[in-house]
Amino acid sequence: MGCLIRMVLLNKKMSYSRYKSFISSGTYKKVPFVEIPTSNSDFYVYYEVGKTRLDLLSYQYYGDPNYGWLILQANPEVSSLEFKIENNQKLRIPYPLENAIQGFESNIKKYNNLYGLNN
- What is the average pLDDT value for the chain, to the nearest integer? 87
Domain ranges of the chain: 40-119
Alpha helices, DSSP H, located in 11-119: 54-62, 68-73, 97-115
The one-letter code for the residue type at 106 is: S
Taking 70 as the threshold, does the pLDDT of residue 9 lie above it? no
Cα gap 66→116, rounded to integer Å: 27
For 27-65, what is each residue's pLDDT tens digit?
888 888 889 999 999 999 999 999 999 999 999 999 999
Residue 18 · residue 34 · CB < 8 Å: no
* Residue-level pLDDT at 26: 83
Q: How confident is the model at residue 117 (pLDDT cuts 50, 70, 90)?
A: low
